[in-house]
Amino acid sequence: MKRWMVITIGSVAVLAVGFLLVLFYIRSTSNWAKNLTWPEPNLATVADGVYEGTATVSMPPGTASANHSVTVRVTVSGHRYAAIEVIAPQQVRGPMTDYAQTVVSEQSLHPDAISGGTVTKSLVLMAAANAVGAR
């Protein structure tokens, strides 16, 4: 077999194995994150105000996520979510803004699923629950 053919086949094999490893990491993180839970607070018992909450998780071996902790600011008005703002870490403030608006629109910490960022979205919801005292 010619040398260039061996190199090409070897390169394709290495790329395929790398792709499968990345796919496994993403899938294992997503499956783990789907098992995270948090309570749905009873906003009827929460006074109007601005609350801050943080959620932190320990990632199991073999999972990958950029964020292990998120802090949010929750504004409650008339026993409803008026606003939810991600305040830390800085890199998720922008991407999670629309997601936080979905929570406000649906008035639920269990909104319809939106793909991507499973761990970070779960942390945002857990931090919001913690902010208003649902433990």
- 89 cis-preceded (ω within 30 degrees of 0): yes
State the pLDDT at residue 134. Answer: 64
User: Domain range spanning residue 86?
Assistant: 1-135
Rounded to two decimals, what is the model's pTM?
0.70
Listed in order, strand segments (DSSP E) in 61-100 are 69-77, 80-88
pLDDT per residue of the chain (135 residues) written in tens, 0 to 9? 688 888 888 888 888 888 777 766 656 556 666 777 788 899 999 999 999 999 888 766 655 555 578 899 999 999 999 999 999 888 878 778 888 888 899 998 888 766 666 777 888 888 999 999 864
Helices within 87-132 (DSSP H only)? 90-106, 118-131
- Minimal CA–CA distance to 57: which of 133, 106, 123? 123
Place of tokens 């761990």: 119
Q: Which residue has the tokens 């999972």?
A: 63
Cα–Cα distances in angstroms (integers) from residue 122 to residues 74, 78, 113, in the given order: 15, 25, 11
Q: What is the CATH number of the domain that holds 9?
A: 3.90.1010
Please write the tens of the pLDDT for every residue from 77-88: 999 999 999 998
**Which pLDDT belongs to residue 30?**
61
Count up the domains in the chain and report the number: 1
pLDDT at 67: 58
